[in-house]
Structure 1
Amino acid sequence: MLDRFTMPLTHRPLLLIARYLSSRRVTPDQVTLGTFLVGMASLPLLAFEYYAFALIAIVLNRLGDGLDGALARLSGRQSDAGGFIDIGLDFVFYAAVVLGFALADPEQNALAATVLLFAFIGTGTSFLAFAIAAKAHNVERPNFPQKAFYYLEGLTEGTETIIALVLFCLFPQHFPWLAGLFAAACIMTTATRLWGGYWTLRQYNDH
């Protein structure tokens, strides 16, 4: 919901960093893997309840998430392979954060974490399944032309997910309630994406 507003704000800072990395011959795939590994450090940090350090790892991962794409565009290295590994590792990272909270306090957090992972399955699959069909029909993406795949909007997008992860770390004692609320928003996103995506694709099939 908020990505169309926040992404333009990050364009210039990411471009400046991408130029520096390009001058150092850093590749987009190296950035993707590096930020993923930094983000995955949050899993053991959360499990051992080092929430402040986990928050740093999460924020660094999210700050670096758009950097690989900016670097790819700058260096002319955009590819389906890069877009694929980027989004794939993103979903692994999201799941790892939720797992970290479940491990930190299984008695309190496990059920909420399970519900949130269930909701993530819906948002992830509806997002990626539509991207595959949209590419086959050459569906345009006017709000996110820089993306390597069709960016299907919804109530919970990247910005909302970042906010949720930050809140989880700032208020870990309230994780069950926060995770439940975010899971409900994700389920609503899945429903609207399935409905909207179905009827959008029906228009292309009918023609």
Structure 2
Amino acid sequence: MLIHGGLWEDMDARRFWTVPGITGALRERGLDVHLPDRLRRPESWPAEVAHVERSLPDGPLTVLAGSNGCSLAVRLALAHPDLVARLILAWPATAGDPRVDEHTRAGLTAQGASPAAIEDLLAGQTLRGVTDADLRRLDLPVAVAPSIPNPFHQRHTADALLALVPGTVELLPATPEPPRPEFPAYLNAFISAVTASC
């Protein structure tokens, strides 16, 4: 199951996973791929979980999540340990950076998010929407695929996940996150790393 990134942005599973070639490449490797769309304008992380729960396929699932979708994936794994068998957290979005949070807060405000929704969506420690204690409770294989660093996907976020979650492994090489225009040059390496970890 692929959980796309974005937070109150014009983003969906097709744009995040299919257009950059990830969906097709995974299917060519013989994997069944489920592509739920996240809520466009969630008021909270629990609302995101409830939305995706309505369309969960039968398990056990490997969940590949990107950017802010990593928060939703962790919450799903904690809520459904019998269903989510493995997590791949790709290009995890950085939480708690004042400049990044201020930029995101301004974008959410401009889109019409309420102050309460903004605080809920930005809350968290290493990842938005979850505490570090939540991350330590994960009891399943976890891999982290780091982004080529940028302000929204900083290296220290991947490093913190590697340190916090017991047994976590790093998938290399680091790549830009889709749908950035430079991602296609990294597609084959990313798919090889993901399929080797499944």
Please indicate, yes or no, whether the TM-score normalized by the shorter chain is above 0.5: no
Q: Higher helix share goes to which structure?
A: 1
TM-score, normalization by structure 2: 0.31
Between structure 1 and structure 2, the one with the greater Rg is: 1
Q: Higher strand share goes to which structure?
A: 2
Higher relative contact order structure (alpha carbons within 8 Å, sequence separation ≥ 6)? 1
TM-score, normalization by structure 1: 0.30
